[in-house]
Amino acid sequence: MSIIHSISHFKNSRDAAKPLDRVEDVRAAAADFRKTMLANPKVRFYKTFELIRIPYPTKYGYLNAFDLPTPYLHICNKLFVIQFDSEEGLKTLLVSPSDWEYQKETPYFNQMIEDVGMLSKPVEMLLVKASNTVLGALKSLGLEPEDVDYLTYDHLHTQNITRWLGGQGQSAIFPNAKLLVMREEWESAQALLPWQNQWYCPHGIEGVEESRVELLDGDVFLGDGSVALLHTKGHTEGNHSIVAHTDQGLLVTSENGVSMDAYAPQHSSIKGLARYAELTKSEVVMNGNTLEFGVDQYLSMIQEKTIAGPYPKDERFYNMALSSESAGYFLFPGTAPTIRMGELEFGTFTANSKSKAQNKRGGLWRKLLS
């Protein structure tokens, strides 16, 4: 029995010879998929946790659109804890569990720190704002490591998963979890081109056993269909988006864009974005640090926002719960988004029997965090 079920809505939607025809085909498929998923059950629980805010170049975050000299914006990396029903019972999924304490060696960000030289420590203290860790967030929720069933990331830039799943001589902190990842992302991360290499944590997937990785060959529903993973090629070859049916509708998680403004630039108050949309007729502004597949990334962002639908608090924008959402910061003037999704929580968290039994024994957390 498997909790993973294939989705066919987007088959052949990107096959048209003319790019604009592809846009409309993807939009139509996304609208059809949206109807299907809204008819599915809702997730049992959905909660986000802010982990860390880091500087990220505006020239990448708002590719070709940002019109101020501010070199950086703040992006807020988030953890998403999702529980959903399945044929095998309740399942717990961690989306974007960034082990930021152990992925600082990502070449691009490591070089930024080295370039500052002797001032690296005070500059880091000024520009990097740590709010929580994955383990700290799970502890606050009462979720034990052995109760995590799945991990997934929209893509593997900067990620180090060796502590989570075991590797390089380390035992797994999440002993029962599997990584859900598109086959293209997993395979490409093992043989990167030099310019791709700048954005992947060295040895970040090294030594992870094959049995801990579930390779996906396309779009899938998880469990009862309240969660979907959709291959949204563009930002990376194996990029995928996470869709969850919640009390706020369909929430779509991705890093194809860095803010809700990026999906509705015509309504953005960030200098340059609305003008860019007017001049180019572009419907989105891409997060373009690698530009592996620019046309596909544009298509993927159209797909994502069509699935998400309007943001209930301001229907000019879309229901995008981004994995790395831009946040305003006084040192980065002019980068504050028009509107932010912020923190979210829906449903009721369920601690399963393994968690309760572990708590009676005194808990694994004391060992992990001591």
Task: Classify residue 162: in a domain, yes or no.
Answer: yes
Task: Classify residue 31: in a domain, yes or no.
Answer: yes
* Residue 345 in this model has a pLDDT that exceeds 50: yes
Q: What is the pLDDT of residue 1?
A: 60
Q: What is the pLDDT of residue 310?
A: 98
Q: What is the pLDDT of residue 354?
A: 58
DSSP letter, residue 88: T
Task: Classify residue 149: in a domain, yes or no.
Answer: yes
Task: Classify residue 367: in a domain, yes or no.
Answer: no
Q: What is the pLDDT of residue 353?
A: 54
How many domains does the structure of the chain reveal? 1
Q: Which residues contact 58 (CB under 8 A, 6 or more apart)?
A: 66, 68, 70, 71, 72, 73, 332, 335
Task: Classify residue 192: in a domain, yes or no.
Answer: yes
DSSP 136-156: HHHHHHT--GGG--EEE-S--
Q: What is the pLDDT of residue 108?
A: 85
Percent residues over pLDDT 70 in the chain: 94
Q: What is the pLDDT of residue 124?
A: 83
Task: Classify residue 69: in a domain, yes or no.
Answer: yes
Q: What is the pLDDT of residue 255?
A: 95
Query: How many Cβ atoms sit within 10 Å of the Cβ of residue 223?
Result: 24
Task: Classify residue 210: in a domain, yes or no.
Answer: yes
Domain of 245, in residue numbers: 4-360
* Residue 195 in this model has a pLDDT that exceeds 60: yes
* Residue 370 in this model has a pLDDT that exceeds 50: no
* Residue 130 in this model has a pLDDT that exceeds 60: yes
* Residue 366 in this model has a pLDDT that exceeds 70: no
CATH number of the structural domain spanning residue 301: 3.60.15.10
What's the mean pLDDT when you consider all of the chain? 92
Determine the Cα–Cα distance for residues 367 and 163; give it in Å rounded to an integer.
Answer: 15
CB 203 within 8 A of CB 156: no
Task: Classify residue 289: in a domain, yes or no.
Answer: yes
For the chain, give me the number of helices (H) and strands (E)?
12, 16
